[in-house]
Copies of this chain bind each other. A is one copy, B any other.
Amino acid sequence: MINIRTDLALEAKEMYAEEQNTSELPGVKVENKELDNCIVTKVEVMDEQGSMIMNKGIGTYITLESNLMKFDDDESREEMIKYLKDELVEVFGTDKTKKTLIIGLGNWNITSDALGPKSISKTLVTRHIFKNYNKDYDDDFTEVAALSPGVMGITGIETSETVKAIVDIIKPDRVVAIDALASRKMERVNATIQISTAGISPGGGVGNKRKALNKEYLGVDVIAIGVPTVVDAATLTSDVLDMAIDNLMSESKESETFYNMLKKLKEGEKYQLIKDSLDPYDKNLIVTPKDIDETIENLSIIISEGLNRALHPGRITK
């Protein structure tokens, strides 16, 4: 089983495939479609075996990879919102009586972790209007509530406790949890959206110890929407080390011994070696693009608008 930090099922699959030198994963089904400016990959973790191999809960993981997310113009944003909306509609279905609670995970004081709360602040909530008018159904809107529960260091309360308490009281049909993720590959940072029906499970890659936000604990469907916004420093170093060695090797033949030794190290071992070397440094190092502040703002628009359009089909937009 792999220890490298990734929240993306797509990467977990890649890493297993690489390590085992196979494209066959027992208990896991993978499908691709290539849209104009976006690659959509659907990874289905079908059973316990698949779950063990992937270190991910049973469920569907849809990944949208697109450089559209890196551009700050209206046109790119609109196109990306459309792709996201289409996948969300497929996951949510068309039952307009379903009630949604959207949760923005993460710490609003830490830019790279603020994707959830920032998306929540742009989400169209309607629950109070449904309640005021004593309605259960509307042609154009569905019932949506939203909350950013904060993190333990800010509230003193386990995030999952807060969410559970709210779920028990407002009784939604599903929870949508928005979170910033960690990726293994710098190129996926801020260029990937993962939608997962498996919810968020402890030990599910992130490293932040928080209890589960999944159907088992909350009692309702949990759809997680995440974007990798950081790579941890050890991951980056490990990747770059590989590339540096390849570069060196192509120039010189004399060091094959060391090269081969490194190649023989399992991926997890190499990561651990790097991790140990980083130890004298602060443990909380992250690698981000310099313009992370603007990037998170842009991503939060894409996610909130994707949700708004998927959940409120009759809402007029440009």
Contact = CB atoms under 8 A, between A and B. Distances in A.
Contacts of A152: 128
Interface in A263-300: 273-274, 276-278, 280-282, 284-294
Contact of A257 (B143, B240, B255): B255
Contact of A289 (B74, B109, B247, B285): B285
Contacts of A164: 169
Contacts of A145: 155-157
Contact of A254 (B146, B155, B261): B261
A315 to B, nearest CB: 10
Contacts of A33: none
Given A78-B318, A186-B282, A287-B286, A252 B261 contact: yes
A111 interface: yes
Given A111-B292, A288-B286, A293-B110, A274 B121 contact: no
Contacts of A282: 186, 289
Copies of this chain, whole number:
4
Contacts of A170: 157, 161
- Residue from A145, A282, A294 having most chain B Cβ neighbours under 10 A: A282
A17 interface: no
Contacts of A48: none
A236 interface: yes
A288 B291 contact: no
Q: How large is the interface on A (under 10, 10 to 19, 20 to 34, 35 or more residues)?
A: 35 or more
A22 interface: no
A177 to B, nearest CB: 15
B276 A186 contact: no
Contacts of A247: 273, 276-277
Nearest to A157: B145
Given A110-B292, A187-B281, A247-B276, 15 more contacts: A73-B316, A109-B293, A125-B154, A128-B152, A128-B158, A145-B157, A230-B290, A236-B285, A241-B241, A241-B244, A243-B278, A248-B261, A258-B258, A285-B287, A287-B287
Interface of A: 73-75, 78, 109-113, 121, 125-129, 131, 143-150, 152-158, 161-162, 164-166, 168-170, 186-187, 230, 233, 236-237, 240-241, 243-244, 247-248, 252, 254-255, 257-259, 261-262, 273-274, 276-278, 280-282, 284-294, 316-318
28 contacts: A75-B316, A75-B318, A111-B292, A113-B290, A127-B157, A128-B153, A128-B157, A128-B158, A145-B155, A145-B157, A146-B155, A148-B150, A161-B170, A164-B169, A165-B166, A165-B169, A186-B281, A233-B287, A237-B240, A240-B274, A240-B277, A241-B244, A244-B277, A252-B261, A257-B257, A284-B291, A285-B287, A285-B290
